[in-house]
């Protein structure tokens, strides 16, 4: 009897729990993401979206979604797809939470998926090679594209735009590439395998540093927005949270900061210097690469960064001398050389090891005094290497005085040139400085570093090998 009563009671508890569980409303997508502790984001490999850099994952889209994951207090799970149609299909099916893949908002895509508030504006541009014999002069109108080889990314917004233009220019034709990405199409133009491609203006800004022979013929669209893409449906909880996040990023200025951090240095780069730089990469760098690698390893630095600093300083010329008396590959002053134990500044090994040691000191000093994380830590350290730690500290103080963030390079580099003006340097401890120089210094090194990474990853290993052999032969 007691057992029967106990069984009845237990059955009642189980039934009650079942009823409560069944009647409880299902979790929203936002709740499921927070409950799982992970968000799944689809992107594509590109300099403007996501790529593995020397210091780990990078790219504007990556930085944005990483901040969104932190905003939600969940881990970020990145999935890579390069086929645009596949990306949109997976969004529709709900196999990922959303896509952050540099997607242009178009009418056709809005019929399939929904977009957040845009985070960036781009323009579609027709890109050509100035050394292409098939193109006699710069094309300035769409009619100039008729009869030319045009390759574009399949299922892209570029195809949509060209299809619209074809209504007015029936002879306009192109080839759609399914198994290439946007950077490979730009490579094809650079290598004269096609006459034109269509690329977004932000990609062109970054990529022209690698191939200065590439030129923009014309814009083929007005400004277009880039945004994150979500599946359509009744559950808009995660979508609304993404909208709140974008509004927060815009209001705080963090979005503008990220865009400047990824693009501003590239937009200021003098493309004409790339050919000279790559020539020196092939002819001079092989002589000193092992020294850069060893010195960087001993000082826990990226050797490509040390090499980029040395190129900015001397173009890898061990006998370089400035009017102020600094000399050698790393252009060390007498005082700095003495502090570092460098006896002969024109000795390549001594100079490189001394320069790497000094840069390490600057990085550590920035970390200790300012508490900065990467990549800000490196940019500030480079500025200190050039202008001195005191002037950099003055610039940070003035940046804060102006209401900007002294811990962001994008803000401090706006203030540094003010150290030339009495109105501003009179407020500082260390006084006047040619503050525009460290800005140009840092931005140039960033581009040299990017170009060197690109060259080593995608460049010309056979040419590099020939350069090494040529150097060995000349040394015999």
DSSP string covering 144-205: GGTTS-EEEETTSHHHHHHHHHHTT-TT---EEESS--HHHHHHHHHTTSSSEEEEEHHHHH
Q: Identify the pLDDT of residue 464.
A: 33
The domain that holds 176 is classified in CATH as: 3.40.190.10
Query: Once rounded to an integer, what is the mean pLDDT over residues 216-226?
Result: 95
pLDDT higher than threshold 80 for residue 24:
no
Calculate helix-pair angle for 436-458, 273-283, nearest 10 degrees: 60
pLDDT higher than threshold 80 for residue 458:
no
Q: Is residue 1 part of a domain?
A: no
User: How far apart (Å, rounded) are the C-alpha atoms in residues 388 and 431?
Assistant: 12
pLDDT higher than threshold 60 for residue 12:
no
pLDDT higher than threshold 70 for residue 473:
no
pLDDT higher than threshold 70 for residue 459:
no
Are residues 300 and 356 located together in one domain of the fold? yes
Alpha carbon of 233 to those of 26, 30, 228, 375: distances in Å? 15, 14, 16, 39
Structural domain of 187: 124-221
User: How far apart (Å, rounded) are the C-alpha atoms in residues 253 and 243?
Assistant: 15
Q: Is residue 464 part of a domain?
A: yes
pLDDT higher than threshold 50 for residue 472:
no
Q: Identify the pLDDT of residue 457.
A: 83
Among 226, 190, 231, smallest CA distance to 89 is for: 231
Name the pLDDT band for 321 (thresholds 50, 70, 90): confident
User: For the segment 234-253, what is each residue's pLDDT rounded down to a tens digit?
Assistant: 899 999 999 999 999 999 99
> Which residue did the predictor score with more confidence, 304 or 14?
304
Are residues 217 and 233 located together in one domain of the fold? no
Are residues 335 and 443 located together in one domain of the fold? yes
Lowest mean pLDDT, pick from 118-122, 186-190, 228-232, 461-465: 461-465
* Residues facing 214 on adjacent strands: 129
User: For the segment 273-293, what is each residue's pLDDT rounded down to a tens digit?
Assistant: 888 999 999 999 999 999 999
Name the pLDDT band for 53 (thresholds 50, 70, 90): low
Q: Is residue 161 part of a domain?
A: yes
Q: Is residue 49 part of a domain?
A: yes
Are residues 231 and 316 located together in one domain of the fold? no
User: How far apart (Å, rounded) are the C-alpha atoms in residues 134 and 244?
Assistant: 50
Are residues 89 and 154 located together in one domain of the fold? no
User: For the segment 114-170, what is each residue's pLDDT rounded down to a tens digit?
Assistant: 999 999 999 999 999 999 988 888 898 999 999 899 999 999 999 999 999 999 999
Are residues 263 and 298 located together in one domain of the fold? no
Q: Name the one residue in this structure whose structure tokens are 């200021």.
A: 268
Is 442 within 8 Å of 409 (Cβ atoms)?
A: yes
Q: Identify the pLDDT of residue 4.
A: 57
Q: Is 213 a catalytic residue?
A: no
Residue 114, phi then psi, degrees to nearest 5: -120, 150
Are residues 58 and 108 located together in one domain of the fold? yes
Is 436 within 8 Å of 413 (Cβ atoms)?
A: no
Are residues 307 and 177 located together in one domain of the fold? no
Out of 313, 350, 376, 443, pick the active-site residue: 313
Q: Note if the bond before 177 is cis, omega within 30 degrees.
A: no
User: How far apart (Å, rounded) are the C-alpha atoms in residues 420 and 436?
Assistant: 8
Report residue 428 as tokens. Answer: 């500082």
Buried b (16+ CB within 10 A) or exposed e, 200-214: bbbbbbbbbbbbbbb
Q: Identify the pLDDT of residue 23.
A: 54
Q: Identify the pLDDT of residue 209.
A: 86
Report residue 417 as tokens. Answer: 């040139």
Give me the number of domains the chain comprises.
3
Is 126 within 8 Å of 196 (Cβ atoms)?
A: yes
User: For the segment 360-407, what is each residue's pLDDT rounded down to a tens digit?
Assistant: 999 999 999 999 988 899 999 999 998 889 999 999 999 999 999 999
> Which residue did the predictor score with more confidence, 47 or 159?
159
Are residues 277 and 327 located together in one domain of the fold? yes
Q: Is residue 420 part of a domain?
A: yes
User: For the segment 168-217, what is each residue's pLDDT rounded down to a tens digit?
Assistant: 999 999 999 987 888 889 989 998 999 999 999 999 998 888 888 999 99
Are residues 375 and 446 located together in one domain of the fold? yes
Lowest mean pLDDT, pick from 44-58, 239-253, 333-347: 44-58
Is 412 within 8 Å of 443 (Cβ atoms)?
A: no
Name the pLDDT band for 421 (thresholds 50, 70, 90): confident
Name the pLDDT band for 463 (thresholds 50, 70, 90): very low
168: number of Cβ within 10 Å? 8
Lowest mean pLDDT, pick from 23-32, 146-155, 438-447: 23-32
Are residues 280 and 260 located together in one domain of the fold? no
Are residues 196 and 143 located together in one domain of the fold? yes
Q: Name the one residue in this structure whose structure tokens are 């002294």.
A: 406
pLDDT higher than threshold 70 for residue 13:
no
Who contacts 95 (Cβ-Cβ below 8 Å, separation ≥6)?
none
């Amino acid at each position: 009897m007691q057992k029967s009563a106990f069984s009845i009671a237990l059955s009642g508890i189980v039934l009650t729990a079942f009823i409560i569980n069944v009647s409880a409303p299902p979790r929203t997508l936002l709740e499921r993401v927070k409950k799982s502790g992970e968000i799944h984001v689809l992107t594509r490999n590109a300099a403007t979206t996501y790529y593995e850099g020397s210091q780990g994952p990078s790219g504007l889209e990556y930085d944005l979604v990483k901040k969104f994951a932190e905003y939600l207090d969940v881990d970020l799970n990145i999935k890579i797809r390069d086929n645009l149609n596949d990306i949109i299909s997976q969004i529709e099916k709900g196999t990922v939470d959303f896509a952050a893949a540099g997607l242009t908002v178009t009418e056709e895509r809005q019929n399939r998926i929904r977009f957040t508030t845009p985070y960036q504006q781009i323009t579609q541009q027709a890109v050509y090679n100035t050394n292409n014999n098939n193109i006699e002069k710069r094309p300035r109108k769409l009619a100039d594209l008729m009869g030319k080889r045009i390759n574009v990314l399949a299922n892209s917004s570029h195809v949509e735009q060209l299809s619209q233009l074809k209504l007015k220019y029936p002879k306009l034709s192109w080839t759609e590439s399914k198994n290439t990405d946007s950077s490979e199409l730009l490579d094809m133009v650079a290598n004269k395998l096609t006459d034109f491609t269509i690329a977004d203006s932000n990609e062109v800004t970054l990529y022209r540093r690698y191939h200065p022979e590439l030129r923009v013929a014309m814009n083929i669209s007005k400004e277009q927005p880039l945004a994150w893409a979500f599946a359509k449906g009744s559950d808009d909880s995660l979508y609304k949270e993404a909208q709140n996040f974008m509004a927060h990023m815009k209001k705080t200025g963090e979005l503008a900061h990220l865009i400047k951090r990824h693009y501003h240095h590239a937009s200021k780069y003098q493309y004409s210097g790339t050919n000279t730089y790559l020539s020196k990469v092939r002819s001079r760098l092989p002589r000193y690469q092992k020294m850069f690698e060893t010195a960087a390893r001993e000082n826990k630095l990226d050797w490509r960064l040390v090499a980029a600093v040395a190129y900015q300083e001397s173009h890898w010329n061990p006998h370089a001398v400035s009017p102020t008396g600094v000399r050698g590959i790393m252009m060390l002053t007498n005082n700095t050389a003495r502090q570092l134990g460098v006896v002969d500044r024109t000795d390549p090994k001594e100079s490189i090891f001394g320069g790497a040691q000094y840069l390490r000191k600057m990085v550590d000093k920035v970390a200790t005094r300012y508490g900065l994380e990467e990549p800000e830590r490196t940019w500030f350290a480079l500025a200190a290497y050039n202008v001195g730690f005191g002037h950099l500290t003055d610039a940070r103080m003035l940046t804060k005085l102006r209401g900007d963030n002294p811990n962001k390079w994008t803000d401090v580099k706006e203030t540094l040139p003010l150290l030339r003006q009495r109105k501003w340097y009179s407020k500082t401890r260390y006084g006047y400085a040619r503050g525009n120089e460290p800005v140009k210094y840092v931005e140039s090194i960033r581009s040299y570093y990017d170009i060197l990474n690109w060259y080593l990853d995608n460049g010309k290993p056979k040419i590099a090998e020939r350069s090494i052999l040529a150097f060995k032969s000349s040394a015999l």
